[in-house]
Structure 1
Amino acid sequence: MTQALPKQITFDEFIEWLPESSEVRYELHDGVIVEMPKPTGQHSNVTGFLIEELVLAIIQIGKRGIWTIPRESIVKPTSESGYEPDIIVLNQQALSSEHRWENESIIENAASVKLIVEVVSSNRRDDYYKKRADYEEMGIPEYWIVDYAALGGRAFIGNPKQPTISVCQLVEGEYQVSQFRQGSRIQSPTFPELNLTADQVFRVGR
């Protein structure tokens, strides 16, 4: 479970407060500091596997040295929130417009982002509701919700629940969602030649 630290603060106060070296991850949700759940082994395996696959895809489409996956970053979708995505693919050519990137690893412009991936854990409502809405409002072009353990609500992943990867593509300011389950190949607007199936991802999380 996520744990909220109740004091209401600004984004800049959050960045100033944020511990530089901590085993705990924190995010700012509507002005409230939230302690994020510690990833399980399966969660880490899935995240690591997807990073490897996306790095290979970046190389294959000739974007090596142009697109990058940083170890850490904070996305600021609103003036009261700051998220640390599980995976973010950045366009290095656009980072010159990010005046807080060099010193603080903060992303404020959707043009810097090619893709954000959140791997679902116990804070599933954040991934399906809050972050999806905020990334859409910010203008993030593509957002994946990787629910390898079928933790999301039935309205999102079916009844009975089943592992699902939801790929949200921004179309005229709104996310259009495509879902991939057992037996299907993931189709990504950013990586159209990605050769990755939902089954491969789910196997890593077992």
Structure 2
Amino acid sequence: MSQSIAPVLTDQQVDDLPTLTFEEYRVYQGEPDVQYELYKGKLIPMPIATVLHIKICEYLVYKIQRYLADHNLDLVVKTGLGVRTDENKSRIPDVVVCTQSLLEQAAGRPGAGILDFDEKPLLVIEVVSQDRRADYVIKRGEYEQANVPEYCIVDPKNGKEKIRLFALIEGEDGYTYTDFLPGEEIISVVFPDLVLSVDEILNLPLVEELVKAEQAQLQEFQQQAVIERQRTQQLEQDAIIERQRTQEERQRADRLAARLRELGVDPDSV
């Protein structure tokens, strides 16, 4: 996650941390409820996220999940999923989009859920918090070196609000980036049909309210479907009654015609 290197550690504190290989890091059991990233073999503890940080991540997951479902894509969007970026480096982006098969591969290994070198996510997202340099410079370099196709930075800092999108463009050497400011819509290279705006990400509603609105809309749709179904059933019943009435009238006419013939009267002449 991009709460990344906070609280900021001094060089001495970093030196005092154990040096681990990637495989040791994958199965490392540290303090309870503390997540660690791996940077040059050193464990970097990650702080508890702010409420704003949590809301942004939840909203992005919500929107991307709907996009993937609407387009019937065999992709997943996850938080807490690690991405190995170098021999002795591994990050935990705030949001990761990858294929279902890659997630299953990571789930099948012991230890932490981390995508390895040859398991590239399509998109990683970091929400800027205390260590801005980590997101804009250090992690940007790592994700570029790891050939992650798209890296999105969400910066909610007051006065600096923007979304910066790094992408690997064919014919370009390394990442190129575009800044999207308040009032603008984000244009993703990997997901060009994904419609998001800077304003909705930085001034977002609670996901719970969105889910309630979804449920209300679904219930309304279901109620309308019930009403339409009842109307259709009523029309079918009316049609049956009309057919029965027509059939009864025809039978009466046939009986009357038969009676007239018995009396020697041609019914067609009446």
TM-score under structure 2 length normalisation: 0.65
Whether the aligned pair in 2 keeps the contact of 1:88 and 1:117 (CA below 8 Å) is yes
Cα root mean square deviation, aligned: 2.1
Alpha-carbon separation, structure 1, partners of 2:118 and 2:194: 22
- Post-superposition shift, 1:124? 1.9
Describe the shift of the 1:110–1:168 C-alpha distance in structure 2 as closer, same or farther (beyond 3 A). Answer: farther
Given the alignment, which residue of 22, 29, 35 partners 1:18?
Answer: 29
Question: Equivalent residue of 1:204, what SS?
Answer: coil
Look up the equivalent residue of 1:24 and give its one-letter code.
V
Whether the aligned pair in 1 keeps the contact of 2:79 and 2:94 (CA below 8 Å) is no
Q: Which residue of 2 aligns with 1:102?
A: 108
Whether the aligned pair in 1 keeps the contact of 2:86 and 2:117 (CA below 8 Å) is no
Describe the shift of the 1:32–1:45 C-alpha distance in structure 2 as closer, same or farther (beyond 3 A). Answer: same
Whether the aligned pair in 2 keeps the contact of 1:110 and 1:138 (CA below 8 Å) is no
Q: Which residue of 1 aligns with 2:96?
A: 88
Given the alignment, which residue of 58, 63, 66 partners 1:48?
Answer: 58
- Post-superposition shift, 1:123? 2.3
Look up the equivalent residue of 1:9 and give its one-letter code.
L
Q: Which moved more, 1:172-181 or 1:127-136?
A: 172-181
Whether the aligned pair in 2 keeps the contact of 1:136 and 1:173 (CA below 8 Å) is no
- Post-superposition shift, 1:101? 4.3
- Post-superposition shift, 1:196? 1.2
Unaligned runs of 5+ in 2: 1-5, 206-270
Q: Which moved more, 1:119-128 or 1:174-183?
A: 119-128
Q: How does 1:109-148 map to 2 (within 5 A)?
A: 109=117, 112-148=120-156
Whether the aligned pair in 1 keeps the contact of 2:163 and 2:181 (CA below 8 Å) is yes
Deviations 1:181-204 (A, max 9, x none): 111001111221122110011113
| More contact order relative to length (CA 8 Å, sep ≥ 6) | 1
Whether the aligned pair in 2 keeps the contact of 1:49 and 1:204 (CA below 8 Å) is yes
- Post-superposition shift, 1:70? 3.0
Would you say 1:164 and 2:170 are equivalent positions?
no
Describe the shift of the 1:149–1:119 C-alpha distance in structure 2 as closer, same or farther (beyond 3 A). Answer: same
Q: Which residue of 1 aligns with 2:184?
A: 184
> By percentage of residues, which structure has more helix?
2
> By percentage of residues, which structure has more strand?
1
Q: Which moved more, 1:139-148 or 1:167-176?
A: 167-176
Look up the equivalent residue of 1:57 and give its one-letter code.
Y
Question: Equivalent residue of 2:203, what SS?
Answer: helix
Alpha-carbon separation, structure 2, partners of 1:18 and 1:181: 41
- Post-superposition shift, 1:38? 1.3
Q: Which moved more, 1:67-76 or 1:118-127?
A: 67-76
Unaligned runs of 5+ in 1: 151-160
Whether the aligned pair in 1 keeps the contact of 2:120 and 2:147 (CA below 8 Å) is no
TM-score under structure 1 length normalisation: 0.83
**Which of these two proteins has the greater Rg computed from alpha carbons?**
2
Alpha-carbon separation, structure 1, partners of 2:166 and 2:21: 29
Deviations 1:51-92 (A, max 9, x none): 1011111112220xx100234321111011111111000112
Q: Which residue of 1 aligns with 2:47?
A: 37
Alpha-carbon separation, structure 1, partners of 2:82 and 2:165: 21
